[in-house]
Structure 1
Amino acid sequence: MSDAIDGLFDPRRNETPPAMSIDALRGLLQAQANTIVSVGTGGERIQNVDGQWQRDTRTLNANFRRLGLEPPFPWNGLWDWHGFYSQNLATYHERRTHVRELTQAALEQLDNIEARGGIHDPAADDDSPSWENLNARILGLIEEYSSARDRDGWQDVGRRSREILIDFGKLIADPSLLPDGQPAPKAGDAKAWFDLFLAKYAVGKDKAELRSTMRAVWDLAQKVTHGDIADVDAFAAAQATVLVVRTAQKLLRDAE
């Protein structure tokens, strides 16, 4: 049997919860709600499910906060829920109704985020070791845009976009990109490495528009970082940054 305060000493409490998509959050929200209802209506025993429920709640709450949303349930553990319904909700019907209302409010928050329009990453499941850090940065950018609500937030999106492009420039920096006799750009000159990359992998008149579009993204990210901008500018910078990285990734793979 598990003690009611065991969750306070769970060594995993200090682990960073994984980031989740909105669809995955909906699934976890439903599972958490079902468990709350079950233990409050004569189903599961709290001591059998509380540890897992607390771990999942930390993940759920962290992801809601990452999106700038209010966490759905006010209890850190199922014993807290037990104390609440024992004092306030006498019948099973009242308990089910209360949990359903909280769950519906949380779903509406997620629906509003989705309706607002999010950043799409066509290669979110890429697991290339050399791109792993960049993939994590892109996920962070998507989350940053999802929670941005004012100019400061939108400018943060621009900063993240610019940082991703700089990291990308470092990732593709390779002496093989240099024409014969040309000295290498400085290590931190990501834009110069990016231009060298395009000169090699997007060469020719038929790729002129592609080169121009990809170069313009650098200027857009810079503008969103410092300019008097709106939501649409932040969206464009973030989505374009993902486009540049994934297009370059495809250029590399096609060449290989």
Structure 2
Amino acid sequence: MSDAIDGLFDPSRHESPPVVDIDTLRGLLQAQANTILAVGTGGERIQNVDAIWQRDTRTLNANFRRLGLQPPFPWNGLWDWYGYYSQNLASYQERRAYIRDLTHAALEQLDQVEARGGIHDPGADDDTPTWENLNGRISGLIEEYSTARDRDGWQDVGRRSREILIDFGKLIADPAIVPARQGAPKAGDAKAWFDLFLAKYALGPDKAELRATMRAVWDLAQKVTHGDIADVDAFAAAQATVLVVRTAQKLLRDAE
């Protein structure tokens, strides 16, 4: 009887499950399914694998919910699975077929999320100290978009995009980019600092299209915060925000 409640005292129950990518999630899903089958077909003793299975299930379920998906398996522990198959699935063949169907359905959910597309950040691994906070905000933006499913969620993506650009404006607010005899913008006027940044680091007729593109991206990110928008608007605003930040970062590095 003690085996059935050991998992309740696992210290990891009180820790936030890690965020994992879709490929890692697929591997974890397969491993969990294999363990379920093993204990349901005489291959493993529940008391030997239940604690690890419960821990990994918390990670699996948390990441499925993060993506707006239904968790794949309806049991919190393997003793619950034992109770289910003892009552409902008499043969090994029935148990294998049942778990195979649940696993395939979960994989299809992940395929649909992946087909929907995600935000790409070419500078995700950047470790420049001054950009650390902004890098974290961009990771949060990508996470926000991955779980947005309605207008409220898409508008939240727009708000995060705008906040990132405001933080970016503070990061580039350097008196050295203010022309002589021109007053510096207010500290919170991120758009004005952004324009000064472009005038300094993307100057000249050969950079006219680049300046125009980056200004248009800024305006798009601001627009998505309000209005009757769809998924494509949120995607464009988020990806465009990453584009502005990483392009500006490259402009700075090239200048150095």
Query: TM-score normalized by structure 2?
Result: 0.89
Given the alignment of the two structures, is residue 116 of structure 1 paired with residue 112 of structure 2, yes or no? no
Residues 148/28 of structure 1: CA separation in 2 closer, same or farther (3 Å cut): same
Aligned position for 2:128? 128
- Cα displacement (A) at 1:243: 1.1
* Alignment of structure 1 residues 230-241 onto 2, 5 Å: 230-241=230-241
Once the two structures are superposed, what CA deviation does each residue of 1:11-70 show, in whole Å capped at 9, x if it has no partner?
332322222222221122112212222222222332232222222222221111111111
| SS of 1:226 mapped into structure 2 | coil
Q: 4+ residue runs of structure 1 moved beyond 6 angstroms?
A: none
Structure 2: stretches of 5+ with no match in the other structure: none
Find the aligned partners of 1:131 and 1:12 in 2 and give their Cα distance. 32
| SS of 1:4 mapped into structure 2 | helix
Identity of aligned residues (%): 85
Residues 101/228 of structure 1: CA separation in 2 closer, same or farther (3 Å cut): same
- Cα displacement (A) at 1:220: 0.8
Aligned position for 2:158? 158
* Alignment of structure 1 residues 78-227 onto 2, 5 Å: 78-227=78-227
Which amino acid letter does the alignment assign opposite residue 236 of structure 1?
Answer: A
Aligned position for 1:40? 40
Once the two structures are superposed, what CA deviation does each residue of 1:127-172 show, in whole Å capped at 9, x if it has no partner?
3343333233223222322332322222121111111212222233
Find the aligned partners of 1:255 and 1:3 in 2 and give their Cα distance. 64
Once the two structures are superposed, what CA deviation does each residue of 1:209-256 show, in whole Å capped at 9, x if it has no partner?
111111112211121111222222111111111111221222223233
* Alignment of structure 1 residues 14-25 onto 2, 5 Å: 14-25=14-25
| SS of 1:110 mapped into structure 2 | helix
Q: Is the 8 A contact 2:32 2:57 kept in 1?
A: yes
Structure 1: stretches of 5+ with no match in the other structure: none
Find the aligned partners of 2:56 and 2:132 in 1 and give their Cα distance. 25
Residues 41/206 of structure 1: CA separation in 2 closer, same or farther (3 Å cut): same
Find the aligned partners of 1:215 and 1:13 in 2 and give their Cα distance. 47
Aligned position for 2:76? 76
Q: What is the alpha-carbon root mean square deviation over aligned residues?
A: 2.1
Find the aligned partners of 1:243 and 1:207 in 2 and give their Cα distance. 16
Find the aligned partners of 2:163 and 2:99 in 1 and give their Cα distance. 42
Query: TM-score normalized by structure 1?
Result: 0.89
Find the aligned partners of 2:54 and 2:176 in 1 and give their Cα distance. 51
Q: Is the 8 A contact 1:67 1:144 kept in 2?
A: no
Larger Rg: 2
- Cα displacement (A) at 1:201: 2.1
Find the aligned partners of 2:18 and 2:252 in 1 and give their Cα distance. 29
Find the aligned partners of 1:79 and 1:171 in 2 and give their Cα distance. 53
Residues 199/10 of structure 1: CA separation in 2 closer, same or farther (3 Å cut): farther
Aligned position for 2:29? 29
Once the two structures are overlaid, the 10-residue window that deviates more, 94-103 or 166-175, is 166-175
Which amino acid letter does the alignment assign opposite residue 229 of structure 1?
Answer: I
Residues 250/148 of structure 1: CA separation in 2 closer, same or farther (3 Å cut): same
Residues 97/241 of structure 1: CA separation in 2 closer, same or farther (3 Å cut): same
Q: Is the 8 A contact 2:158 2:221 kept in 1?
A: yes
- Cα displacement (A) at 1:192: 2.3
